[in-house]
Amino acid sequence: MDTPDRAAAQPAASRAEDSPVFSFINNLSPIEPLKSAYNANSLQGYQSINITSISSIFTSPHDNAHKEPRLPKSSLGEISESEVCADGKNTNKPTKSSNAVRLFACTSTVTQETHTVTCSDVVDPPTVPCDLAQPAQFDNGSPDHNTTPCHGVRSDLKQDKCRKQDVVQTVKSTVEKRKCLFSTEIQLLDGGQPVNDNNEVLGCEWSDLIATTSGELLAFDSTMDDHHRGMHLAAKNAESCGYLLSKLAGDGEISERAYPNASGQVYYQELVMGEDQTENAQIFQDGQQTISTEEIQDNIYEANGCIPLDYKVESQQQRGVRRRCLVFEAAGFSNSVVQKESVEDLSVSTCKGKGHVQTQPRGLRGIGLHLNALALTPKGKMACQDPMASALLPSSASEKDAHGKLLCAGENFTHSGGELLEFPMDDCSSGGFPLNDHVSSQSVSPQKKRRKTDNGDDGEACKRCSCKKSKCLKLYCECFAAGVYCSEPCSCQGCLNKPIHEEIVLSTRKQIEFRNPLAFAPKVIRMSDAGLETGEDPNNTPASARHKRGCNCKKSSCLKKYCECYQGGVGCSSNCRCESCKNTFGRRDAETELTEEMKQEGEQTENSGKEKENDQQKANVQSEDHPLVELVPITPPFDLSSSLLKLPNFSSAKPPRPSKARSGSSRSSASKATTTLQSCKSSKAAGSGIDEEMLDILKEADSPSRVKTTSPNRKRVSPPHNALSISPNRKGGRKLILKSIPSFPSLTGDSNSGSAMNNTDNTFSASPLALGPS
DNA sequence: GAGTTTGAAACT
DNA sequence: CAGTTTCAAACTC
């Protein structure tokens, strides 16, 4: 809004206090701290990456956030760009949402000064190194920043971090941080140096700390001059946030960076670790924080519709993209805030691969679900997951690309494009969320679930579960089965599948897995997997995937989605006990024959059969493929096999599928699988390999004729199923993944096919971690 | 949007 | 392990 005086910036603390903005900021402050925390942590981790974008992130995010709800992606992106780039024109933003406007305004004002920065950041973020950040700009940041403070601070911080990682490091210990924060705040207030701090005040309450920090941040922003300060503050804030979060969450301890202890956190870490250990540490921290924050947010949300803005903001910030959906819907403000968060996340992710990690973790974090699940999850879910992919992306994607970070920030989706992971995770929430916002921004209502987005969404995409009696803690729940927390899109009742109830969710998962180790394993194995299992060439039978357990259809003739095999786009296998199977993808009968044929045929396409759904399935398949590919590398549950198939699975940990494998040739399959895996891996490694698969899949899909020829025979063989099941767990629950796939393609194609892919990969990779928990 | 159908998941 | 019930998605109207 108004950025009254920037001049105050340096005087910062004192000035900020005076200015209305300052007061506003104070209100918001709580959130900021969290963000800062994220940023700080994440930043630290990412510093190497190129966080420069961060500033952009901040700026854009706000904008986006605000905008998103109401404006379409494109619009957002435009706005962000125009506004930001334009220098000072804030007007656009403000109009969008009052709250958002405020933040935005602040941001914008700040941005005006920093515009250059933001623009550059946005665009370049990825490429530009941390240094890019425009400390100066931030510095310039007027008092107005206050509203933006966090952003500005963060960006600054980031920069600072880049420059002054040392400082951040110092902050690491939460206690110290707390102290620091406190002290810093004090200092700020006093006009003292922000930077350091020391450890003087541990005793302060977190709330106080937060407030103070926020204040400091604001001041800091204004004062941006001292990067150090910014750094310290940010770190402090982050820590404080984390601390707060931990408290809120009940973690109790922040322990050093965060809360290593928390199960969820741990889980998160694991996930993160999957990607980059080095980064992981940092990320992990971030992730933890985020988790806690999310939880908190969730709680808040749940607890009441009316949370003080400040509080909400904090929670939102903490949360990150995922929950954003909820937040947005819940509160207008939150939207803005959320956006910010998302932006940050995005920025981070966009900036580097690491970003992915973060995002993923979030998604995973609580639940411990797989990214896969998300990705793989059924269409609807998929959509959510890929929110961006399906709906959002399209429009936004391009923009995103163009803008780079802005889009990301603005939209989760865009982000997703780059950093699909998060979205996915969020995916659900976040992913869909943003989409909704963009598309239907209007729909602030929580119901947005459907994100359908224009793009293509069937509307399904966004859909999530609607459990009423299962509390979303049973496999009946798609979300739960997919390893994803329920989010806004869900219309479930009495849902316990939320980060808040992480413990319950995890325990329930364990119970279910104990009962059925394969419960969370992907139901359908992708062709690649199948190929492995069967020994077929992956290339040849890309499309063919088999349902691990096999369906038991009686009336649907395996021609409807009731049939898991059909839904998964795979032919029925020997494992199936279906009656009158007419699965267009392949039938059991033919299996035996097929198996041989398949062996012989290598070429044949799989079954692509289905006309109707070919497209969808195609998309799904593709998507799956992608994930798989990437996933594979990540973490293999099993020794070898694990690598390939596993994708992201959550439950990958479990042994190969056992249960129902009728065919029983698991052993053989196993060996095969290994071989196949290797092959696959090699291909994957190539990188291009994936694409190839995609293409193949598409081709198959396109050509119906193939389907029949191959399908019956082909079925990729159930025998291998076992093997398949083992390594590849693709999906989580019933729902198969198809839908998600489509989105992927679009996304990749649109914007960053490459990047998107990577992102997805990353996410997936991260996901594997999830499983581990138990 | 409500009601029905379906088959997986859960239970016994 | 088989049979039954419960459940929520998929489908239909």
DSSP string, A410-468: H-HHHHHHHHTTHHHHHHIIIIIHHHHHHHHTT--SGGGG---HHHH--STTT-----S
Interatomic separation, CA of residue A449 and C1' of nucleotide C2, rounded (Å): 39
Quick check: is A69 in a domain?
no
* Cβ of residue A563 lies below 7 Å from strand B: yes
For residue A309, the model assigns a pLDDT of 36
> Of all nucleotides in the shown strands, which has a C1' nearest the CA of A379?
C9
For residue A25, the model assigns a pLDDT of 59
Quick check: is A88 in a domain?
no
Buried (b) or exposed (e) across A387-406, using 16+ Cβ within 10 A?
bbbbbbbbbbbbbbbbbbbb
- Arithmetic mean of pLDDT, A710-735: 36
The DSSP code for A571 is B
Interatomic separation, CA of residue A26 and C1' of nucleotide B1, rounded (Å): 45
**In this model, does residue A661 exceed pLDDT 70?**
no
Share of chain A above pLDDT 90, in %: 0
Shared-domain flag, residues A722 and A746? no
Quick check: is A285 in a domain?
yes
Sequence-distant contacts of A693-697: CB under 8 A, at least 24 apart? A693/A528, A693/A538, A693/A539, A693/A542, A693/A622, A693/A625, A693/A629, A694/A622, A694/A625, A694/A626, A694/A745, A696/A539, A696/A542, A696/A543, A696/A605, A697/A527, A697/A542, A697/A543, A697/A618, A697/A621, A697/A622, A697/A625
> Of all nucleotides in the shown strands, which has a C1' nearest the CA of A555?
B6
Interatomic separation, CA of residue A499 and C1' of nucleotide B12, rounded (Å): 32
Protein residues in reach of strand C (CB < 7 A): A 378-380, 460, 463-472, 474, 476-478, 560-562, 567, 734-735
Interatomic separation, CA of residue A333 and C1' of nucleotide C3, rounded (Å): 53
Strand C footprint nucleotides (protein C-beta < 7 Å): 6-11
For residue A179, the model assigns a pLDDT of 36
* Cβ of residue A524 lies below 7 Å from strand B: no
Q: Are A406 and A757 in contact (CB under 8 A)?
A: no
Is A189 or A29 the better-scoring residue by pLDDT? A29
- Arithmetic mean of pLDDT, A278-283: 38
Shared-domain flag, residues A567 and A648? yes
Shared-domain flag, residues A265 and A223? no
For residue A549, the model assigns a pLDDT of 67
* Cβ of residue A549 lies below 7 Å from strand B: yes
**In this model, does residue A207 exceed pLDDT 60?**
no
Shared-domain flag, residues A514 and A535? no
Shared-domain flag, residues A703 and A657? yes
Number of folded domains that form chain A: 3
Interatomic separation, CA of residue A4 and C1' of nucleotide C6, rounded (Å): 62
Shared-domain flag, residues A149 and A166? yes
* AA letter at A365: R
For residue A55, the model assigns a pLDDT of 35
Interatomic separation, CA of residue A36 and C1' of nucleotide B7, rounded (Å): 49
For residue A578, the model assigns a pLDDT of 85
Interatomic separation, CA of residue A451 and C1' of nucleotide B7, rounded (Å): 27
Identify the domain containing residue A763 by its residue range: 261-519+738-774
* AA letter at A496: L
Q: Which residues pair with A524 in a beta bridge?
A: A547
Shared-domain flag, residues A393 and A332? yes
Interatomic separation, CA of residue A477 and C1' of nucleotide B1, rounded (Å): 21
Positive or negative CA dihedral for A510, A624, A758, A69? Answer: negative
Nearest to A362 by CA among A306, A309, A419: A419
Quick check: is A722 in a domain?
yes
Interatomic separation, CA of residue A664 and C1' of nucleotide C8, rounded (Å): 31
The DSSP code for A332 is H
Interatomic separation, CA of residue A727 and C1' of nucleotide C3, rounded (Å): 32
Quick check: is A90 in a domain?
no
Interatomic separation, CA of residue A559 and C1' of nucleotide B6, rounded (Å): 12
Last residue of a domain, one of A247, A269, A286: A247
**In this model, does residue A584 exceed pLDDT 50?**
yes
For residue A21, the model assigns a pLDDT of 64
For residue A517, the model assigns a pLDDT of 79
* Cβ of residue A482 lies below 7 Å from strand B: no
Instruction: Give the pLDDT band (50/70/90) at residue A569.
Output: confident
Closest residue (Cα, C1') to C9: A562
* Cβ of residue A555 lies below 7 Å from strand B: yes
* Cβ of residue A476 lies below 7 Å from strand B: yes
Quick check: is A357 in a domain?
yes
> Of all nucleotides in the shown strands, which has a C1' nearest the CA of A491?
C8
Closest residue (Cα, C1') to B6: A562
> Of all nucleotides in the shown strands, which has a C1' nearest the CA of A613?
C10
- pLDDT, one tens digit per residue, over A220-237 is 333 344 444 444 434 444
Instruction: Give the pLDDT band (50/70/90) at residue A510.
Output: confident
Least confident stretch, A107-111, A282-286, A287-291, A549-553? A107-111
- pLDDT, one tens digit per residue, over A611-647 is 333 433 433 443 333 333 333 222 233 332 333 233 3
Instruction: Give the pLDDT band (50/70/90) at residue A507.
Output: confident
Most confident among A75-79, A468-472, A564-568, A602-606 (mean pLDDT): A468-472
Interatomic separation, CA of residue A690 and C1' of nucleotide B8, rounded (Å): 32
Quick check: is A63 in a domain?
no
Interatomic separation, CA of residue A742 and C1' of nucleotide C11, rounded (Å): 22
> Of all nucleotides in the shown strands, which has a C1' nearest the CA of A550?
B8
For residue A609, the model assigns a pLDDT of 38
Q: Are A402 and A755 in contact (CB under 8 A)?
A: no
> Of all nucleotides in the shown strands, which has a C1' nearest the CA of A515?
B10
For residue A169, the model assigns a pLDDT of 43
> Of all nucleotides in the shown strands, which has a C1' nearest the CA of A556?
B6
Shared-domain flag, residues A200 and A298? no
Share of chain A above pLDDT 70, in %: 12
- pLDDT, one tens digit per residue, over A351-383 is 333 333 333 333 333 333 333 333 333 333 333
* Cβ of residue A553 lies below 7 Å from strand B: yes
d(CA A307, CA A329): 13
Interatomic separation, CA of residue A772 and C1' of nucleotide B9, rounded (Å): 23
Shared-domain flag, residues A159 and A293? no
> Of all nucleotides in the shown strands, which has a C1' nearest the CA of A547?
B8
For residue A26, the model assigns a pLDDT of 61
Average pLDDT value over all residues in chain A: 43
On the CB side of A673, CA atoms within 13 Å amount to: 37
Task: Give, in order, the Cα–Cα distances in Å from A236 to each of A156, A362, A436.
Answer: 14, 21, 34
Quick check: is A498 in a domain?
yes
Strand B footprint nucleotides (protein C-beta < 7 Å): 5-10
Last residue of a domain, one of A185, A213, A247: A247
- pLDDT, one tens digit per residue, over A684-722 is 333 333 344 444 444 443 443 333 333 333 333 333 333
Interatomic separation, CA of residue A690 and C1' of nucleotide B11, rounded (Å): 43
For residue A576, the model assigns a pLDDT of 82
Shared-domain flag, residues A364 and A394? yes
**In this model, does residue A505 exceed pLDDT 80?**
yes
What's the token pair of residue A230? 């910014």
Shared-domain flag, residues A724 and A748? no
The DSSP code for A655 is P
Shared-domain flag, residues A512 and A535? no
